[in-house]
Chains A and B, each alone.
Chain A
């Protein structure tokens, strides 16, 4: 992560985690990198592309952006990069707050199954999983735990 920031000559980035797993990872990263700008949290429920199919998530949380993001370098953090649809939604939401100078995507897990042309800039782990397998970050924010499960039909 540090190397990527150095490579791009980014001094004072704004870190934004995607609710909920991404926000937990971002919290850790934010501390490890000792970033000065406050951490942001995005809940992308209002930007999902499946609203007309599944409706609104009733537990949506407010998004919190740390001040003005115009011309700032943003590090977008999520737990698992899978289809890419969440990141598409998050990018759209970020641009409704302003025009960042750049956006870097950092994820804990990069797994196969992409449906959109979106790739991570920084990845901690890469997994090859079957289409019926699901990986999830749980038990945050204190004791993070990755859980691998099989999706049963209809579930």
Chain B
């Protein structure tokens, strides 16, 4: 089955949210606009709306996460849904079979949405293909493949800080090889029409095919940072690295760590983003992470509103429609 079509129903409405690929600018912009409406909810006396009252959302995490799981949970609760958090260490399962068994058990509990994080690329697609038709799947990160809600909250943060995407020059710095975040960000940035996307990384941490995604590859941080308006730092993913891709963390920081003197080459109104968790002194200097140009904590705050918007769009009338068809 076609990956892209899996996410949309026949009317073009969002059914699952698995990857940015195959979603057009209009849909992404609508989700960002809706997140703007949801962001006000957190500032009110009653910090929730009754939209998903009576729905049950399962956070199914096969890989550790604090920030992502917490903001998904908060988003679901602010929409008045009931939330189950299930953490399953992936190493304890025998993959495919057990994954489907888990799925069938949760379906039997009448759940409406699964939020899935899994160390294997394609896990969310796999589940979307096999889940009952009334269940919506949100990908909260699968292996090295995609992390679409993180990419969207990054877009939301950029939009809050910059007047438009069109004339923007954005640099993504760091471990592109293992980063599902970078992949989703590149798709989102190009769909939203930014002028230039740069990928800055050592040769060993950048996929050979990166240029086919329409990015300009740099292997020198100083050169790559020149005049950029948005810098997205990536976390150095020790846990996904096998073998010696890097000489040492110290040397990495010397060459690719973001420091004040290197940042001076960027646009004067540059903003610094990072999906977290930060490795201070490895990919980013603490003075920058905590400095005035850093929007890292805003990104976290925006995560809830953006995830509310994605959930509200994915749980919709199709659930009722297809549910009725099952009977």
A contacts, CB < 8 Å to B: 43, 45-47, 51-56, 58-65, 70, 92-93, 95-98
| 7 sample A-B contacts, Cβ–Cβ < 8 Å, listed by A number | A51-B51, A55-B316, A55-B318, A60-B34, A60-B37, A96-B45, A98-B45
Q: Which residues of A contact B49 (CB under 8 A)?
A: 46-47, 93, 96
Nearest Cβ on chain B to A6's Cβ, whole angstroms:
30
Say yes or no: is B64 at the interface (Cβ < 8 Å to chain A): no
Bound CA span A89–B65, Å: 36
Identify which of B46, B48, B318 gathers the most chain A CB atoms within 10 Å of its CB. B46
Bound CA span A63–B319, Å: 27
Q: Which residues of A contact B13 (CB under 8 A)?
A: 55
Nearest Cβ on chain B to A19's Cβ, whole angstroms:
10
Q: A46-B50, A92-B50 are in contact. Are A63 and B313 (CB under 8 A)?
A: no
Contact in complex: B44, A56 (CB < 8 Å): no
B contacts, CB < 8 Å to A: 13, 30, 33-34, 36-41, 44-46, 48-51, 312-313, 316-320
Bound CA span A60–B33, Å: 8
Bound CA span A17–B320, Å: 32
Closest to B39 in A: A62
- Give the total number of A-B pairs whose CB atoms are below 8 A apart: 60
Q: Which residues of A contact B40 (CB under 8 A)?
A: 62-64
Contact of B319 among A46, A52, A60 (CB under 8 A): A52
Main secondary structure of the interface of B (DSSP, over half): helix
Having A45-B37, A62-B36, one finds 14 other A-B pairs with CB under 8 Å, namely A46-B37, A47-B49, A51-B316, A52-B320, A55-B13, A56-B34, A58-B30, A60-B33, A61-B37, A63-B37, A96-B46, A97-B44, A97-B45, A97-B46
Contact in complex: B37, A54 (CB < 8 Å): no
Contact in complex: B317, A58 (CB < 8 Å): no
Q: Which residues of A contact B33 (CB under 8 A)?
A: 58-60
Closest to B50 in A: A47
Bound CA span A36–B42, Å: 27
Q: Which residues of A contact B319 (CB under 8 A)?
A: 52
Q: A53-B320, A97-B44 are in contact. Are A46 and B36 (CB under 8 A)?
A: no
> What are the 8 tightest A-B residue pairs by CB atom distance, in nearest-first order?
A55-B316, A96-B46, A46-B49, A55-B317, A62-B37, A58-B30, A56-B312, A60-B37
Contact in complex: B37, A56 (CB < 8 Å): no
Closest to B47 in A: A96
Nearest Cβ on chain A to B201's Cβ, whole angstroms:
37
Contact in complex: A54, B45 (CB < 8 Å): no
Q: A46-B49, A46-B51 are in contact. Are A52 and B317 (CB under 8 A)?
A: yes
Closest to A46 in B: B49
Bound CA span A2–B39, Å: 35
Bound CA span A64–B37, Å: 9
Q: Which residues of A contact B34 (CB under 8 A)?
A: 56, 58, 60
Q: Which residues of B contact A53 (CB under 8 A)?
A: 317, 320
Nearest Cβ on chain B to A99's Cβ, whole angstroms:
8
Bound CA span A58–B32, Å: 10
Q: Which residues of B contact A63 (CB under 8 A)?
A: 37, 40
Contact in complex: A43, B46 (CB < 8 Å): no
Contact of B316 among A56, A62, A64, A65 (CB under 8 A): A56
Closest to A69 in B: B45
